[in-house]
Structure 1
């Protein structure tokens, strides 16, 4: 048994702060606000649904990395074979990286900070220049792998939280309206919990947890914890503290979003909502301060995302250097960012509708894997029964150019006719449970048969 160092409260704080810094980025700020505006008086059940996919699943994703002793996204999918694992890694990093997640860090910063100050005729040029500078800085600060953490800085999160607390204080002491009487949009009149659950996909944190989990596990080991059980326990404790803090912020943002309906209409996205709220309470000066901090916070997230992409791709495709992968993902993120925030959100939603169910079942399977000895047959049944309905959900969630095509309508019609909960975007849920039952049944049958064979041999 390896000797282990007993961790201090400061050690737990360091790990918790790291977790918070990794997870809290652009989407964590704008989507809860927008959810509050969409849900109105039904903000409480919407918030509960949001916390499941926005808080609980990211925590479980980190635990999944720890429990299975994985080295990243690839290892989480490894029980299904190297081809699936590699494809899953590419899809995860592409989604949280240059296709959607990383570009969003620049578009949110621009939408909240500069867009209100730029004339409408120059919005396109403004975003082009801003995103070029933004990703140029992200590339510069992530060139040296061993300096990334120091380059990000340790004071950014605390300072940002202090100013965000100031916004909360103003919003609660001088509310724009009563959250309990604000009108809910049609989708949130009766399905607020499920829609909040689906909105949690947009944070991408469960996917990010799979990519960043190994960073946290490695940090815990460097603090003196060696045994897998101890690492998992420390990660769980620190994770609970970090995610509890994020949960508090989420609830506050959702509540403020609902109250803002007393002064404003439902915005096109959470970036616009945040800009409206800050301007209402603090004017242009307050907006400038917060916009700067949001830009810096989003920049730190972008640095982590481009670095994680380059590190993982260099590991699996070593002929291409870390710096080359870094330049490629940064350039791709710059190009995608100039599509605009609304378009990024519109096209990322269907991809998340496909990837989140797969990620959820793999996270839960990883956490529960000691119960069935990580038997690949259980993984195969669950994933096979999940991937098909998840594909249907993806097609249904695409913009009209796809979802309203003859192919899209055929997929949607089949899904709604034969799959339970399809109307809620959860067509995968029942098939995944059926797959789990069948997979476990086959696993138990195999073990019983093996024992009987051994007994007969003896």
Structure 2
């Protein structure tokens, strides 16, 4: 395979990861962290870039993608977990949210009073384009890697370079959130990007793109997947650092309460009325590439598991479902999706970490079972709490573990469950 092919696959993977959520987190982190920007952004990059990269590698190392990773706990768990992940990041939440965010940030600023009919028209056009570009997965690298990603990077570079030359406000004092342990706070903020779950789906897209180039040897596939993953990781880290810097040094950044507002104002300061156009292009390309990748990944998975419907029919089905859900509005989608993702994300991280440790730790089902059982106690509780079902008595019983208040209470129990499960299995 040529070097250009690896570069294009890496650029495709970068664009698939880089959605609207990834665009708005860093500038807000920059504004809040101020003089503590460097350690905060370092923590953000570790969880927002490194974990997704490791998840892609875990998929490359497995024989049957996300399903085989879950089957190390139990065959039924493996298939149910895979279905939930693909539906959550695909037609139920991830894809509709991408279209809705694209409308809210890219189109609504040009309208005096956005309405449901305008959202309907926009999402109709958005999903027609998504459908057409997703129908042929063999052209996904050419479409996204060679055309859409360079356009996205050019638009982001235009914004960031102009900011570097024009924004010179000194970094402010960190907010209360980042006064203590800014690295840890940034680490947790990167966790909220949810890209590790998406990586479990995008891994299949990358491997399929490599196989389409005639590569069949497993070791070679792993090598090329690592190369493409590193290209995407470097690109993400550079973009996160650059747009985070805007939040630190843009004058008046502290008057805004989210990253979308910061970028909108930054675009207006730098380019006047044309700034809205620049931001609209960035958001539209970021959301479109991510939605194309998610649609393709979901269709490939379901067509492989249940081939009664072809890949193209699954693309049509998921596009239609996404279209109708997108028209429920961004607030509705987020209110339902966040609790579900809060429950799924810890499972994904635990399975990825155990999969990468398996060559050294051995193939112990007890290790997987122990880790998942204790993870479930905390992730399900966090999800129910996010839904508004707070069981105070139960929370008091399990709330003594480290990081519980930050939403990462599952980490220590998962590690303890893995060690205990492996020990019991060995005995």
Q: Tell me the TM-score normalized by structure 1.
A: 0.84
- Residue 411 of structure 1 deviates from its aligned partner by 4.5
| Counterpart contact for 1:396–1:412, Cα < 8 Å | no
Instruction: Give the Cα–Cα distance (whole angstroms) in 2 for the partners of residues 199 and 343 of structure 1.
Output: 22
**2:66 counterpart residue number:** 73
**Radius of gyration: which is bigger?**
1
Q: In the alignment, which of 261, 266, 287 is matched to residue 277 of structure 1? A: 266
**1:136 counterpart residue number:** 128
Q: 1:137 to 1:219 in 2, by over 3 A?
A: closer
Q: Number of residues paired by the alignment?
A: 427
Q: 1:257 to 1:436 in 2, by over 3 A?
A: same
* Residues 1:206 and 2:200 are matched in the alignment: no
Instruction: Give the Cα–Cα distance (whole angstroms) in 2 for the partners of residues 261 and 183 of structure 1.
Output: 15
| Counterpart contact for 1:131–1:337, Cα < 8 Å | yes
Q: In the alignment, which of 47, 56, 62 is matched to residue 62 of structure 1? A: 56
* Residues 1:245 and 2:230 are matched in the alignment: no
Q: In the alignment, which of 322, 325, 342 is matched to residue 336 of structure 1? A: 325
Instruction: Give the Cα–Cα distance (whole angstroms) in 2 for the partners of residues 127 and 107 of structure 1.
Output: 8
Match of 1:203, SS? coil
**1:438 counterpart residue number:** 420
* Residues 1:390 and 2:379 are matched in the alignment: yes
Q: 1:348 to 1:127 in 2, by over 3 A?
A: same
- Residue 431 of structure 1 deviates from its aligned partner by 0.4
Instruction: Give the Cα–Cα distance (whole angstroms) in 2 for the partners of residues 197 and 347 of structure 1.
Output: 24
**1:117 counterpart residue number:** 110
Q: 1:126 to 1:172 in 2, by over 3 A?
A: same
Instruction: Give the Cα–Cα distance (whole angstroms) in 2 for the partners of residues 157 and 383 of structure 1.
Output: 37
| 1:228-286 CA distance string (max 9 Å, x none) | 3343233223322320121111111222123336345233x433332221111112223
Q: In the alignment, which of 300, 303, 307 is matched to residue 292 of structure 2? A: 303
| Counterpart contact for 1:396–1:411, Cα < 8 Å | no
**1:28 counterpart residue number:** 22
**2:185 counterpart residue number:** 195
Instruction: Give the Cα–Cα distance (whole angstroms) in 2 for the partners of residues 422 and 331 of structure 1.
Output: 39
Q: 1:326 to 1:235 in 2, by over 3 A?
A: closer
**1:421 counterpart residue number:** 403
Moved more, 426-435 or 46-55: 46-55
Instruction: Give the Cα–Cα distance (whole angstroms) in 2 for the partners of residues 123 and 38 of structure 1.
Output: 32
| 1:105-151 CA distance string (max 9 Å, x none) | 2122212221111123x343332321222123222332344444445
- Residue 88 of structure 1 deviates from its aligned partner by 0.8
Instruction: Give the Cα–Cα distance (whole angstroms) in 2 for the partners of residues 313 and 25 of structure 1.
Output: 23
* Residues 1:99 and 2:88 are matched in the alignment: no
* Residues 1:50 and 2:44 are matched in the alignment: yes
Instruction: Give the Cα–Cα distance (whole angstroms) in 2 for the partners of residues 78 and 155 of structure 1.
Output: 38
Q: Tell me the TM-score normalized by structure 2.
A: 0.90
Q: 1:307 to 1:225 in 2, by over 3 A?
A: closer
* Residues 1:350 and 2:342 are matched in the alignment: no
| 1:358-387 CA distance string (max 9 Å, x none) | 111111111122224433222111111211
* Residues 1:126 and 2:118 are matched in the alignment: yes
**1:39 counterpart residue number:** 33
Instruction: Give the Cα–Cα distance (whole angstroms) in 1 for the partners of residues 312 and 9 of structure 2.
Output: 28
After superposition, residues 110-189 of structure 1 pair within 5 angstroms as: 110-120=103-113, 122-152=114-144, 154-175=146-167, 177-179=169-171, 181-184=172-175, 186-189=176-179
- Residue 213 of structure 1 deviates from its aligned partner by 1.0
Instruction: Give the Cα–Cα distance (whole angstroms) in 2 for the partners of residues 209 and 274 of structure 1.
Output: 26
| Counterpart contact for 2:364–2:422, Cα < 8 Å | no
Q: 1:409 to 1:170 in 2, by over 3 A?
A: farther
Q: Give 5+ residue unaligned stretches, structure 1.
A: 1-6, 447-458
| 1:180-229 CA distance string (max 9 Å, x none) | x1452x43333543333333234332112111212323444555655433
Q: In the alignment, which of 55, 77, 86 is matched to residue 79 of structure 2? A: 86
| Counterpart contact for 1:38–1:266, Cα < 8 Å | no
- Residue 396 of structure 1 deviates from its aligned partner by 3.0
| Counterpart contact for 2:14–2:236, Cα < 8 Å | yes
Q: Give 5+ residue unaligned stretches, structure 2.
A: none
Instruction: Give the Cα–Cα distance (whole angstroms) in 2 for the partners of residues 182 and 131 of structure 1.
Output: 41
Moved more, 30-39 or 300-309: 30-39
**1:313 counterpart residue number:** 302
Q: 1:100 to 1:123 in 2, by over 3 A?
A: same
